[in-house]
Amino acid sequence: MPMSPRDYTWLFTPGSTFTYESGTTGVIRLAGGGELDLPTGRVVACDPFVHLGTGDVEPFTVAVAPGRYRVEAAVATLTRPDEPPSDRPHLRVAAARLVIRDEPTTTWELALLPGQDPAGLKGDEFFGYGVDAGTGCFYDASAEKAFPEAREDEGPLWDAFEGSDWSVGPHLVTSPATGHSLAAFTSGWGDGCYPTWTGRSAAGEVTCFVTDFFVAPDPSEAPADPV
């Protein structure tokens, strides 16, 4: 059996808390990223600094109606035991969500690319996207070639993350040349491979896409310290 989805309702509830074995605690807050334009409804998720514009990523097989959809992140504020208050809190994006419908999600399925079959997954295996630059994003398939300057270490995508605190996001970034947009955010503890889940309502309609960065433990499991 492939990896099972976690409790994402809990993860996207402001004030949800967890504690690692070391005693470090985390408190979840929601950070808004505006509304992402999906002119085709075909959703792509990837590390934009590595894959955007390369042509080597495809949209998920599940598409939605064209429109504008809210992006938000579940951001964990981490505090070590006996750590004094700081004006520079330790923040990590635990998960990012593209909200399609404001309805309860009753079922979850892995967001798949063409040719991927979850029946072949074993144990806790999953399909996900690789991160090598510490970031993830959502964008419409039509925006694939909309940020050519990002390949040259410049442009609005780079500008969004500049600053002494390397802001975690989500950042809604618009190409001045084409008007296409994407929503970008830091990826939890950094590089790795992360799954995206498609949520569905009781009627089977898509409610959201959620990328899990494995920062917050599932509340039903023992909270081991992050690697």
**Per-residue pLDDT tens over the stretch 123-145:** 889 999 999 999 999 999 999 99
Give percent of the chain with pLDDT exceeding 70: 93
- Average pLDDT in the 18-27 region? 91
What does pTM read for this prediction? 0.92
Beta bridge partners of residue 57, listed in sequence order? none
Better-scored residue on pLDDT, 66 or 1: 66
Confidence label for 121 from pLDDT (cuts 50, 70 and 90): very high
Confidence at residue 73, expressed as pLDDT on a 0 to 100 scale: 97
d(CA 144, CA 182): 10
Confidence at residue 167, expressed as pLDDT on a 0 to 100 scale: 82
Q: How many CA atoms lie within 13 A of 131 on its CB side?
A: 24
d(CA 161, CA 173): 10
Burial class of residue 20 in the structure, from the number of CB atoms within 10 Å of its CB (0-12 exposed, 13-18 middle, 19+ buried)? middle
Confidence label for 225 from pLDDT (cuts 50, 70 and 90): low
Is 12's pLDDT higher than 80?
yes
In degrees rounded to 5, what are phi and psi of residue 197?
-110, 145
Pairing type for strands 192-200 and 128-131 reads: antiparallel
- Residue of 216, 18, 179, 197 whose CA lies nearest to 118: 197
Confidence at residue 164, expressed as pLDDT on a 0 to 100 scale: 40
- Average pLDDT in the 37-63 region? 95
Give me the chain's average pLDDT, please.
Answer: 91
In degrees rounded to 5, what are phi and psi of residue 54?
-85, -20
Confidence at residue 62, expressed as pLDDT on a 0 to 100 scale: 98
Tracing tokens 């929601």 back to the chain, one arrives at: 30
Better-scored residue on pLDDT, 225 or 110: 110
User: Is the Cα torsion angle 44, 48, 53, 56 positive or negative in sign?
Assistant: negative
Is 174's pLDDT higher than 70?
yes
Structure confidence by residue, pLDDT tens digits, 155-164: 888 888 875 4
Is 166's pLDDT higher than 90?
no
Is 2's pLDDT higher than 90?
no
Token pair for 201? 């309502």
Is 102's pLDDT higher than 60?
yes
Q: Please list, in sequence order, all residues whose beta carbon lies within 8 angstroms of the beta carbon of residue 77, skipping any fewer than 6 positions away.
A: 26, 27, 29, 89, 90, 91
Token pair for 83? 């750590």
Confidence at residue 163, expressed as pLDDT on a 0 to 100 scale: 57
Confidence label for 227 from pLDDT (cuts 50, 70 and 90): low
- Residue of 13, 26, 163, 15 whose CA lies nearest to 83: 26
Alpha helix segments (H runs only) across the chain: 8-11, 48-51, 156-161
Confidence at residue 161, expressed as pLDDT on a 0 to 100 scale: 84
Q: Please list, in sequence order, all residues whose beta carbon lies within 8 angstroms of the beta carbon of residue 81, skipping any fewer than 6 positions away.
A: 22, 23, 24
